[in-house]
Chain A
């Protein structure tokens, strides 16, 4: 069983990652797309996929770093597919 963690606020990213485990996915939506992955201790994060809803990503992104390269942009259809792939969805907003 795996969990899809949907993060809609930047300050909830740490809360989410503290409760995620390998095999889970993180989806950034709304203001969550501005979450600062670069301040997170990378070694503390389990192996999981990270996605961001492209509709919510601002045209100019101020952040860059190794985590930004790991984030896959998806559309709303991709959002639906993620919910199908995971047994449970938890919202962090």
Chain B
């Protein structure tokens, strides 16, 4: 049975190096046939804004979502309340990220064999 792994990003990366290492870990897990998902919480949702070109790209943030796209890593989840409290419009249902309500999140996390963070 394939192991499931969730990368939980609940803050903005403090440097490009951290972002690069997170991407490296994501791609490595993915290469070894682990089922990888990404969850953006709190300030982690700003990775979406950077990817959409709405913010300055101080640490190469736009590369993050572009790399996930390029390697077909999905699903990418985002917490609805984190997006709303930061002024993000609800994403189109057919596009990333998938939305998760905060009240569902504690139990939802428990489906993953591993949860890793920045």
Binding site for B on A (CB under 8 A): 1, 3, 15, 18-21, 24, 88-93
Contacts and interface: CB of A to CB of B under 8 A. Distances in A.
Contact of A15 (B10, B110, B112, B117): B10
A15 B8 contact: no
Given A1-B110, A19-B41, A88 B115 contact: yes
Given A18-B102, A19-B105, A20-B106, A90 B117 contact: yes
Contact of A19 (B11, B102, B112): B102
A24 B106 CA distance: 10
Give the interface size class of chain B: 10 to 19
B55 interface: no
A91 B107 contact: no
A44 B41 CA distance: 20
Given A15-B10, A19-B105, A19-B106, A88 B42 contact: no
Contacts of B10: 15, 90, 92
Contact of B114 (A24, A88, A92, A93): A88
B109 interface: yes
